[in-house]
Structure 1
Amino acid sequence: MSSSIPFASIRLITDRIDNLVGFYAEVTGVVPAWATPEFAELRWPGVTLAIASASTVARLGDHLDPTTGNRASIVEFRVEDVDAEVARIQRALPGATWVLPPTTMPWGNRSALLRDPDGTLVNLFSPPAGGRRTPPTAG
């Protein structure tokens, strides 16, 4: 018998927990739940973004090396209106580093990318109206 394991959360590890939690709280509008000064969660139905201080990693074993500035992952948030969210975030976080202005991608999503305080890419996207995507052309 096969069953799937439910997805629960993504945890970001940082040396600047207050900055990172504040950034994601501002971007998402979600109030963080602080378990300790070293660990906070932003919760949505069915998924959690956990943010922990690098000092928490030592509790998992000496063999782990906490890193920040992940360049291999993108944290993504689905929004109704990418352009409106970008304008709101630019007002709220004027020093934010934007990587991609609002752009319609070849697969139909409207996206804008910025970096969080640790350098991780954050994608704000909205799918095409009706969820339809244009299939690629044969070439």
Structure 2
Amino acid sequence: MYSPRPRFKFNTIGLFTSNNKATVDFYTKAFGFTTSWDGEQPNVEMFLGDNRIILFPRDAFEQMVSQKFQYPEGFNGTMELSLNVPTFADVDKEYLNALNNGAKSVLPPTTEPWGQRTCYVADPDGNLIEIGSFVE
């Protein structure tokens, strides 16, 4: 059966930041993202294996597009980054690691009725990050 070539390949999540340095520090220390960012350019590329996120300062983005935006205060409930870990024990371990590296707790590790152990933390800009596993 012929399968047409997809129109798009999803490859990146972009986050608008209030402080690139704080966000880079958080994602590298808490989750092991890597970057070759020079600390000065507004655009930051960060990698975790084959996954990529980009960071761009909110004020620089507004200047670039000549528009003002409203950003959520506190926790940002409009999207999440979801990180899968091997086991339930890893959920607990990575939750504590994230908190020790500056994350704010949103939901402590919880085993849900559908069989997933999950937790939520927030990065320095309030973006939600889920850490979960389906393997006990």
Q: Is the 8 A contact 1:13 1:54 kept in 2?
A: yes
Which stretch of the first structure deviates more once superposed, 5-14 or 28-37? 28-37
Note the C-alpha offset of 1:127. 2.1
Find out whether 1:3 has 2:6 as its counterpart: yes
Distance 2:104 2:134 in 1: 23
Uncovered stretches (5+) of structure 1, i.e. residues with no partner: 130-139
Aligned partner of 1:38 in structure 2 is 42
Percentage identity across paired residues of the two chains = 26
- Relative contact order, higher structure (CA 8 A, sep 6+): 2
Note the C-alpha offset of 1:78. 1.1
Aligned partner of 2:19 in structure 1 is 16
Q: Secondary structure at the match of 2:60?
A: helix
Which stretch of the first structure deviates more once superposed, 66-75 or 108-117? 66-75
For this pair of structures, how many residues does the alignment match? 127
- 2:126 paired residue among 119, 123, 127: 119
Q: Secondary structure at the match of 1:12?
A: strand
Distance 1:117 1:91 in 2: 13
TM-score, structure 2 length as denominator? 0.77
- 1:15–1:78: structure 2 CA closer, same or farther, 3 Å change rule? same
- 1:68–1:42: structure 2 CA closer, same or farther, 3 Å change rule? farther
TM-score, structure 1 length as denominator? 0.76
RMSD between aligned residues? 2.3
Distance 1:24 1:66 in 2: 24
Which stretch of the first structure deviates more once superposed, 4-13 or 30-39? 30-39
